[in-house]
Protein backbone atom coordinates (compact mmCIF):
# COMPACT_ATOMS: atom_id res chain seq x y z
CA UNK A 1 0.00 0.00 0.00
CA UNK A 2 2.83 2.39 0.88
CA UNK A 3 4.51 1.64 -2.45
CA UNK A 4 1.31 2.42 -4.38
CA UNK A 5 0.97 5.76 -2.60
CA UNK A 6 4.60 6.63 -3.51
CA UNK A 7 4.00 5.75 -7.15
CA UNK A 8 0.84 7.87 -7.24
CA UNK A 9 2.59 10.75 -5.49
CA UNK A 10 5.57 10.55 -7.85
CA UNK A 11 3.44 10.40 -11.01
CA UNK A 12 1.18 13.18 -9.72
CA UNK A 13 4.20 15.36 -8.89
CA UNK A 14 5.72 14.78 -12.32
CA UNK A 15 2.40 15.62 -13.92
CA UNK A 16 2.20 18.86 -11.92
CA UNK A 17 5.81 19.78 -12.75
CA UNK A 18 5.24 18.98 -16.39
CA UNK A 19 2.06 21.04 -16.49
CA UNK A 20 4.06 23.95 -15.10
CA UNK A 21 6.99 23.76 -17.48
CA UNK A 22 7.30 20.76 -19.83
CA UNK A 23 7.47 21.93 -23.43
CA UNK A 24 4.34 21.05 -25.36
CA UNK A 25 2.60 19.47 -22.37
CA UNK A 26 -1.06 19.89 -23.18
CA UNK A 27 -0.52 23.35 -24.68
CA UNK A 28 -1.69 24.28 -28.11
CA UNK A 29 0.73 26.51 -30.03
CA UNK A 30 -0.24 30.16 -30.06
CA UNK A 31 -1.78 31.09 -33.40
CA UNK A 32 -0.55 34.22 -35.15
CA UNK A 33 -3.30 36.85 -35.51
CA UNK A 34 -4.15 38.88 -38.61
CA UNK A 35 -1.93 41.97 -38.76
CA UNK A 36 -1.52 44.90 -41.11
CA UNK A 37 1.73 44.91 -43.06
CA UNK A 38 1.70 48.49 -44.39
CA UNK A 39 1.21 52.04 -43.18
CA UNK A 40 -0.50 54.30 -45.76
CA UNK A 41 1.72 57.20 -44.64
CA UNK A 42 5.04 55.32 -44.86
CA UNK A 43 5.38 54.91 -48.64
CA UNK A 44 8.47 56.51 -50.21
CA UNK A 45 9.24 56.88 -53.92
CA UNK A 46 11.99 54.59 -55.22
CA UNK A 47 14.71 55.89 -57.50
CA UNK A 48 15.16 54.18 -60.88
CA UNK A 49 18.32 52.39 -59.72
CA UNK A 50 16.39 50.78 -56.83
CA UNK A 51 13.27 49.81 -58.82
CA UNK A 52 13.05 46.01 -59.30
CA UNK A 53 10.24 46.19 -61.92
CA UNK A 54 11.16 45.37 -65.50
CA UNK A 55 8.58 47.60 -67.23
CA UNK A 56 9.71 51.03 -66.01
CA UNK A 57 9.27 53.50 -68.90
CA UNK A 58 12.21 55.62 -70.04
CA UNK A 59 10.38 58.77 -68.98
CA UNK A 60 8.68 58.67 -65.59
CA UNK A 61 6.47 61.65 -64.83
CA UNK A 62 5.22 61.55 -61.25
CA UNK A 63 5.37 64.80 -59.27
CA UNK A 64 4.58 64.74 -55.55
CA UNK A 65 1.04 65.95 -56.38
CA UNK A 66 0.50 62.63 -58.22
CA UNK A 67 0.18 60.66 -54.99
CA UNK A 68 -1.19 61.44 -51.54
CA UNK A 69 -2.82 60.10 -48.41
CA UNK A 70 -6.57 59.69 -48.90
CA UNK A 71 -9.30 58.31 -46.66
CA UNK A 72 -11.52 55.65 -48.27
CA UNK A 73 -14.47 54.44 -46.19
CA UNK A 74 -12.82 55.76 -43.04
CA UNK A 75 -9.53 53.97 -43.77
CA UNK A 76 -6.28 55.70 -44.76
CA UNK A 77 -4.94 54.75 -48.18
CA UNK A 78 -2.22 55.70 -50.63
CA UNK A 79 -3.91 57.38 -53.61
CA UNK A 80 -2.14 57.52 -56.97
CA UNK A 81 -3.61 59.81 -59.65
CA UNK A 82 -2.40 58.54 -63.00
CA UNK A 83 -3.48 61.71 -64.80
CA UNK A 84 -0.41 63.21 -63.08
CA UNK A 85 1.69 60.10 -62.49
CA UNK A 86 2.33 57.70 -65.38
CA UNK A 87 4.37 55.27 -63.25
CA UNK A 88 5.22 54.88 -59.59
CA UNK A 89 7.49 52.59 -57.61
CA UNK A 90 7.41 52.95 -53.83
CA UNK A 91 8.77 51.15 -50.79
CA UNK A 92 8.25 50.94 -47.06
CA UNK A 93 9.45 48.64 -44.28
CA UNK A 94 7.28 45.60 -43.57
CA UNK A 95 5.46 46.21 -40.27
CA UNK A 96 5.39 42.55 -39.11
CA UNK A 97 7.30 39.33 -39.70
CA UNK A 98 6.29 36.97 -42.49
CA UNK A 99 7.24 33.30 -42.56
CA UNK A 100 7.04 30.68 -45.28
CA UNK A 101 3.42 29.66 -45.77
CA UNK A 102 1.86 32.91 -44.51
CA UNK A 103 -1.13 34.05 -46.59
CA UNK A 104 -1.15 37.75 -47.51
CA UNK A 105 -4.27 39.55 -48.74
CA UNK A 106 -5.05 43.15 -49.55
CA UNK A 107 -7.33 45.67 -51.22
CA UNK A 108 -6.55 48.12 -54.02
CA UNK A 109 -9.52 50.15 -55.20
CA UNK A 110 -9.74 52.00 -58.51
CA UNK A 111 -12.19 54.44 -60.02
CA UNK A 112 -13.48 53.92 -63.57
CA UNK A 113 -10.39 53.13 -65.67
CA UNK A 114 -10.29 55.01 -68.95
CA UNK A 115 -7.76 55.56 -71.71
CA UNK A 116 -7.89 56.89 -75.27
CA UNK A 117 -7.19 53.33 -76.49
CA UNK A 118 -7.31 49.89 -74.86
CA UNK A 119 -4.46 49.30 -72.43
CA UNK A 120 -3.50 47.53 -69.22
CA UNK A 121 -2.51 48.64 -65.76
CA UNK A 122 0.21 46.68 -63.97
CA UNK A 123 0.19 46.31 -60.19
CA UNK A 124 2.87 44.43 -58.25
CA UNK A 125 4.31 43.88 -54.78
CA UNK A 126 8.00 43.10 -54.21
CA UNK A 127 9.54 41.74 -51.01
CA UNK A 128 13.25 42.57 -50.65
CA UNK A 129 13.28 43.26 -54.39
CA UNK A 130 11.68 39.91 -55.36
CA UNK A 131 8.28 39.81 -57.05
CA UNK A 132 5.66 38.21 -54.76
CA UNK A 133 2.43 39.25 -56.52
CA UNK A 134 1.32 40.99 -59.71
CA UNK A 135 -1.82 41.57 -61.69
CA UNK A 136 -2.57 43.08 -65.09
CA UNK A 137 -5.87 44.99 -65.17
CA UNK A 138 -7.53 45.71 -68.55
CA UNK A 139 -8.46 49.30 -69.40
CA UNK A 140 -11.20 50.44 -69.85
CA UNK A 141 -12.94 48.94 -66.82
CA UNK A 142 -15.68 49.96 -64.39
CA UNK A 143 -14.71 51.08 -60.90
CA UNK A 144 -13.78 48.12 -58.76
CA UNK A 145 -11.33 46.49 -56.42
CA UNK A 146 -8.26 44.35 -56.96
CA UNK A 147 -7.70 41.79 -54.21
CA UNK A 148 -4.08 40.67 -53.91
CA UNK A 149 -3.93 37.18 -52.40
CA UNK A 150 -0.69 35.22 -52.25
CA UNK A 151 1.39 32.86 -50.13
CA UNK A 152 4.84 33.77 -48.86
CA UNK A 153 7.65 31.41 -49.89
CA UNK A 154 10.52 32.99 -47.94
CA UNK A 155 10.87 34.32 -44.39
CA UNK A 156 10.87 38.13 -44.15
CA UNK A 157 11.37 39.84 -40.78
CA UNK A 158 9.68 43.12 -39.89
CA UNK A 159 11.59 45.93 -41.56
CA UNK A 160 12.17 44.04 -44.83
CA UNK A 161 11.59 46.42 -47.78
CA UNK A 162 8.13 45.97 -49.29
CA UNK A 163 7.84 47.49 -52.76
CA UNK A 164 4.75 48.65 -54.63
CA UNK A 165 4.62 49.07 -58.41
CA UNK A 166 1.85 50.78 -60.38
CA UNK A 167 2.07 51.37 -64.12
CA UNK A 168 -1.04 52.68 -65.82
CA UNK A 169 -2.05 54.26 -69.11
CA UNK A 170 -4.85 56.80 -68.88
CA UNK A 171 -6.46 59.16 -66.42
CA UNK A 172 -7.29 56.98 -63.45
CA UNK A 173 -7.12 56.93 -59.66
CA UNK A 174 -5.91 54.00 -57.56
CA UNK A 175 -6.08 53.59 -53.77
CA UNK A 176 -3.88 51.09 -51.95
CA UNK A 177 -6.02 50.44 -48.87
CA UNK A 178 -4.32 47.61 -47.03
CA UNK A 179 -2.11 44.54 -47.12
CA UNK A 180 -2.48 42.02 -44.30
CA UNK A 181 -0.96 38.82 -43.01
CA UNK A 182 -3.98 36.56 -42.57
CA UNK A 183 -4.60 34.90 -39.20
CA UNK A 184 -3.41 31.33 -38.79
CA UNK A 185 -6.11 28.75 -38.30
CA UNK A 186 -5.84 25.56 -36.28
CA UNK A 187 -7.50 23.46 -38.99
pLDDT per position as a tens digit, 102-150: 999 999 999 999 878 888 999 999 999 999 999 999 998 999 999 999 9
pTM: 0.81
> What's the Cα-to-Cα distance from 159 to each of 34, 64, 82, 100, 127, rounded to whole Å?
18, 24, 29, 16, 11
> φ and ψ at 115, to 5 degrees?
-160, 160
- How far, in whole angstroms, is CA 99 from its chain's centroid? 12
Quick check: 98 and 144 in contact, CB under 8 A?
Answer: no
% of the chain at pLDDT higher than 70: 83
The radius of gyration of the chain from alpha carbons, rounded to an integer in Å, stands at 24
Quick check: 112 and 174 in contact, CB under 8 A?
Answer: no
Q: What number of CA atoms fall less than 13 Å from residue 18's CA on the CB side? A: 10
Amino acid sequence: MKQSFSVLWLSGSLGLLCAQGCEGAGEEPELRPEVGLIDAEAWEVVEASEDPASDRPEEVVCPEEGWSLETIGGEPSLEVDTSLCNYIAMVQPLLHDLVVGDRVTGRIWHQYLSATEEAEAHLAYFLAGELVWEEWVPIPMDAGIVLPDFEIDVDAPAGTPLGLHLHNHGFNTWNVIDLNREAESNE
